[in-house]
Amino acid sequence: MMKIYNTLTNKKEEFIPIEQNKVRMYVCGPTVYNFFHIGNGRTFIVFDTIRRYFEYRGFEVKFVQNFTDIDDKMINKANEEGTTVKELGDRYIDEYYQDADSLNIERATVNPRATEYIDEIVSFVKELVDKGYAYEINGDVYFSTKKFTHYGKLSGQNIEDLQAGARINVDERKQDPMDFAIWKAQKPGEPGWESPWGLGRPGWHIECSCMAKDILGETIDIHAGGSDLVFPHHENEIAQSEALTGKPFANYWMHSAFLNINNQKMSKSLNNFFTAREILSNYEADVIRFLMLSAHYRQQLNFNEELLESAKASVERIYNAIANLENLLEEVKVEVATDEERSYLNSLSKHKEKYIERMDDDFNTADAITAIFDLIKDINTNISINSSKESIVEALKLIRELGEPLGILQKSTKVSLEDEIEQLVEQRQQARKDRDWALADKIRDELKDRGIVLEDTPQGVRWKKI
Ligand code: AMP
Ligand code: ZN
């Protein structure tokens, strides 16, 4: 049985999908006016891991993550750069894929762009107006929060408190300070689309309501995002969607905690961020994911270099164990496992059971990682040069299997050995260019010790293992 902490009920609940063995999941994606930072990265990695884990447990996951490609930030940035909102969006969507792929984040089943859903959004808004849940003033359309009696149910805030907060910046035209724009009239210099209320553009909240419904249906299993989205974004999404359909919008609402820096939320506006790309230039995806997943997703995590270094050391420890096993595989003589070995291999399943038990309990990746370390320790003390190939293969398979839902431990150790040799060869070439013959000879000898010989060919230096 899988359990999920549901923000809507503030409880851990058994996960019961709408359709057996299927998960329909919507995650709020980035506004594509910049590179994403490693705080956004935490949220993307967390929900990628949750998706992978559902798949590991045999669910078929339809995973939708949108791109917000029209809003004030997009418009301002495009104006600053003297480009169009469309071009800006195209560019940063490409950059998003580059970084997300580098972080080993699986591609979503669908990545809708808000600007591709304008017709559907206009119909959505129109229906809300027709049903009396929304009203127009001079080309703007507002959602009437008073009409939706459950307003505030996700964030658990009482409507009077919310109203008091909202009064600080009252727009006189609204019927109530809590009302929010679902369609915005075009202002000079802004892009606009045709609508019954004149040229305009969608509000942020309506995009997600509309795209989730169009792609996944009126009621979905899971709606997710960072915890900053609980209010107002997700509260408003619920109001719009449930007002329209009269059905629950999402059965489970999941929110990942912030990645902080000096105990403050990492954010573009505070200018205290590192882009994912910056961090990726120094640390591998395995290390970054390991760091993110070493805390429970509902716990805030304070990002710093020490944490990165310690994640790096941990990942190296696991890869060393993998490399040792792979090397052993080439050395051992016996093919088939003995009965004794077989019963040992069976006993390894206790680590997998522990891993599954912890992941089933609201995706406790921190404990899942502990289970992987226990497995490694167990294998290190029990598998040796006297083991059979079969046992080593099984042990390796299990380590890789438990790494996969976390998006880690899938790299080949052989490739990295080759990379290392390539690097040494390059360093030697450089040494020769610098006429540092001593260093060049030293590297040649080091390579020779590792069974690598160098050949000068017309195409440059080649290496081979002897
Ligand atoms: P944005 O591009 O700002 O709309 O954010 C994209 C996603 O990243 C949303 O789900 C946010 O909730 C999430 N997010 C933004 N900042 C952080 C942070 N510091 N830690 C974790 N998630 C964040
Ligand atoms: Zn959203």
Could you report the per-residue pLDDT of 232-286, keeping only the tens digit for each? 999 999 999 999 999 999 999 999 999 999 999 999 999 999 999 999 999 999 9
Q: For residues 197-223, give the mean pLDDT.
A: 98
pLDDT of residue 416: 64
Ligand 2 center from residue 212 Cα (angstroms): 9
**pLDDT classification of 166: cutoffs 50, 70, 90:** low
User: Is 237 annotated for ligand binding?
Assistant: yes
Q: Is 87 annotated as a binding residue?
A: no
Residue nearest (by alpha carbon) to ligand 1 atom 15: 40
The predicted-structure confidence for 96-112, as pLDDT tens digits, reads as follows 999 999 999 999 999 99
Q: Place 464 in a pLDDT band, splitting at 50, 70 and 90.
A: confident
State yes or no: pLDDT of 168 exceeds 60.
Answer: no
Contact predicate 232/180, CB 8 Å: yes
pLDDT for residue 172 is more than 80 = no
| Minimum CA distance residue for ligand 1 atom 11 | 226
Cα(428) to centroid of ligand 2, in Å? 52
- The bound ligand whose nearest atom lies closest to the alpha carbon of 226 is 1
Q: How far apart are CA 97 and CA 235, in angstroms?
A: 29
Ligand nearest to the CA of 237: 2
Report the residue among 27, 43, 68, 205 best suited for mutation to probe ligand 1: largest number of ligand atoms under 8 A from its CB. Answer: 43
At a CB cut-off of 8 Å and minimum separation 6, what does 243 contact? 128, 131, 133, 143, 147, 148
Query: Residue 62 above 70 pLDDT?
Result: yes
Q: Answer for the pair 287, 308: CB distance below 8 angstroms, yes or no.
A: yes
Mean pLDDT, all residues of the chain: 95
Ligand 1 pocket by Cβ (under 6 Å): 28, 30-31, 39-40, 42-43, 225-226, 228-229, 258-259, 265-267
pLDDT value for 450:
84
Atom of ligand 1 nearest to the CA of 27: 10
Q: Which CATH class, in words, describes the domain spanning 305-406?
A: mainly alpha
- Whether residue 17 has a cis bond before it, omega within 30° of 0: no
Find the range with the poorest average confidence among 23-27, 104-108, 165-169, 286-290: 165-169
Residues 329-339 have pLDDT tens digits of: 999 999 999 99
Give distance in angstroms: CA of 465 to centre of ligand 2. 54
CATH classification number, 3-277, choose in 3.40.50.10320, 3.40.50.620, 3.40.430.10, 3.30.450.40? 3.40.50.620
Domain boundaries, the chain: 3-277, 305-406, 417-465
Query: Per-residue pLDDT tens for 431-445?
Result: 999 999 999 999 999
DSSP-derived secondary structure letter, 198: S
In the chain, the percentage of residues whose pLDDT exceeds 90 is 87
Tell whether 28 is in a known binding site: yes
| 36 CA: nearest ligand 1 atom | 2
Strands (E), 3-146: 3-6, 11-14, 22-27, 60-65, 134-137, 140-143
Lowest mean pLDDT among 113-122, 250-259, 314-323, 452-461: 452-461
What is the distance in A from the centroid of ligand 2 to the CA of 158?
22
The pLDDT value given to residue 153 = 95
pLDDT higher than 90, residue 159 = no
- Arithmetic mean of pLDDT, 79-103: 98
Provide the token pair at 89.
């969006």
In this prediction, residues 381-402 reach a mean pLDDT of 97
226 CA: nearest ligand 1 atom: 12
Q: Which ligand is nearest to the CA of 235?
A: 2
Contact yes or no for 255/28 (Cβ under 8 A) = no
